[in-house]
Amino acid sequence: MAKFEITKRANGEFQFNLKAGNGQGILISEGYVAKASCMNGIESVRKNSQVDKLFDRLESKNGKPYFNLKATNGQIIGGSEMYESVAARENGIQSVMKNAPDATIDDKTVEA
């Protein structure tokens, strides 16, 4: 099953990584100062991942395809890895669309 993993960066900011059922990371967020903002980002991914036009299909300077998912206000919610081909990027977008709505949340910042 897909999951959103919440972790803390070295600078203390929270981030989430959407991972497919096979453990592959398919979307990583920007940094958030507060965990509540990070949780709001996850909800935004769940909602906005169902709208194809909110995925910006881009190419890096070295020619590698990647994508960003934007909220309806135009703010970037998360981005992908660099892919080897446009087809692989499209597969990544389809994976986010399929997995995000029902993904569980695994909060790695909670002390055991």
Percent of the chain as helix, strand, coil, to the nearest 5 = 30, 35, 35
In this predicted structure, what is the pLDDT of residue 111?
A: 66
What architecture (CATH level 2) is domain 3-107? Roll (2.30)
Which of helix, strand or coil describes residue 14? strand
Enter the tokens of residue 32.
């958030």
User: 29 φ, ψ to 5°?
Assistant: -90, 170
Domain parsing of the chain, residue ranges = 3-107
Does residue 42 have a pLDDT over 70?
yes
- In 3D, which of 31, 45, 36, 17 has the Cα closest to residue 6? 17
pTM: 0.93
Per-residue pLDDT tens for 52-90?
999 999 999 999 999 999 999 999 999 999 999 999 999
